[in-house]
Amino acid sequence: MSQAIKKVVIAGGGTAGWMTAAALSKLMGGQIEVTLVESESIGTIGVGEATIPTLVFFHRLLGIDEAEFLRETQGTYKLGIRFENWRDVGKDYTHAFGVTGKDCWACGFQHFWMRARQLGLAEDFGEYCLERRAAEAHKFSHLPNIGLNYAFHMDASRYAAYLRKFSEGFGVQRVEGKIDQVQLHPHNGYIRALKLDSGQEVAGDFFIDCTGMRALLIEKALHTGYESWSHWLPCDSAVAVQTEAVEPPVPFTRSIAHESAWQWRIPLQNRVGNGLVYAGSYQSDESAREQLLENIRGKTLTDPLLIKFQTGRRRKQWHKNCLAVGLSSGFLEPLESTSIHLIQQNIVRFLRFFPQTEIHPREVDEFNRQCAFDMERIRDFIILHYKVTDRDDTEFWRHCRQMEIPDTLAAKIDMFRETGHVFREANELFVDSWQQVMLGQGLMPERYHPLVDSMSEQELAGFIQQIKRGVDQQVASLKDHNDYLANFVGGASKSHS
């Protein structure tokens, strides 16, 4: 297609649509015209309320004021995820956003920690991670040079509304209406226009599919195909409900494993988001609904919302003149809060590959390759939580322990078990997280790096104690999360360094 791309049409609103509109209008304003088509009568899932630290950088790219964002979305800070009953019933750990301890040029901190632990010189692995300690102490402060890695909990519906206002300030035109038909060019199969139920046609040069799991453009019109991962991730259903807050918000998400499901608990300023993700082959919708309602605190504010999904990805996320963003591109359960990260990854990657004069097949292929890599590595990380567990108390957990897993994940698990090493491949999202979760789930390496033995016991003890003292001092200097949040959102944003 050799035509300058001057008009981009976004199909669908919600978090995906308005994040896309915000980025395109702010970063490419004046070069392109952005139109977003959505219908007030079509609801969004709106339960993607926990994020990871990459959103902080997305906001900085767009120049979004953090205090204003938190105020508008009833947001709170997040330092990690507390995994309860995942390793075994009654055994908990926190996967925090920070780096644990200090690495050396040859090996990671976990190697020093393993030897120190054998000698009785080290405490739990998480004691040497600032973010984990801060989360468990319910503390937070902004530190210079992003000294404390953090993300957010937020109201997804309010976030979409906030970004709509932001985007319209940069010239985005919103069109109300349901998409009745996707019209294609007869000669090349590219999308020409969206025909709405009102009869109005919205033409464009490039189209971004943010229509959620319906995938009206990328799948129903362009038939790109879907690769299912349900044989590795058996959960295919969720039920979600909002409740009144009965205590101050904590700076972490809770993930609570049950007999054949797991429950999220996400604290906002004004309420709590709750949900249960489960496998329909092991648990009925009604029993899942009952289990969720029995394990929440506070009065319910909404009726339980049932969500059905198939884990996997679109075979092509960019095809012809259409890009899938959000749930239209695929689905990974929200265990590690990666949904919004994948939205922004596609947006930022698209901006890097933006086709000024024509769409080049080689660039499209490379874009799709990078998307597949991102989703497959996150997929592997999520499967890890189910596969590496001591739980065998139910048929569901026995299935997870025994199931086949992707070769890429099997290689990572085997390497860590045999050598204690975790290597980052390309721009893989998770790094320190791998050893945090593998150790948290009970996978202890058989050996540590021989370089560690070059330190005497006294030197090793001093090294470990120095890291612990440093973390202790930093945690002591942090503020109570709720107090800091109230002060920051209340207008003290200038203190942010």
Q: Which residues are catalytic?
A: 78
Question: Is the backbone of residue 334 left (phi > 0), alpha (psi -120 to 50) or beta?
Answer: alpha
DSSP 188: T
CA distance 329 to 323: 8
* CA dihedral sign of residues 141, 146, 148, 152: positive
Do 355 and 410 contact (CB within 8 A), yes or no?
no
CA distance 232 to 387: 9
Do 156 and 74 contact (CB within 8 A), yes or no?
no
The three-state (H, E, C) secondary structure of 256-302, written as one string: EECCCEEEEEEECCCEEEEEEEECCCCCCHHHHHHHHHHCCCCCECC
CA nearest to 319, candidates 356, 372, 354, 359: 359
Residue 322, both tokens: 């259409």
CA nearest to 447, candidates 162, 52, 114: 114
Beta-carbon count within 10 A of 448 CB: 22
Residue 2, both tokens: 């050799």
At residue 188, what is the residue type? N
Residue 155, both tokens: 């109201």
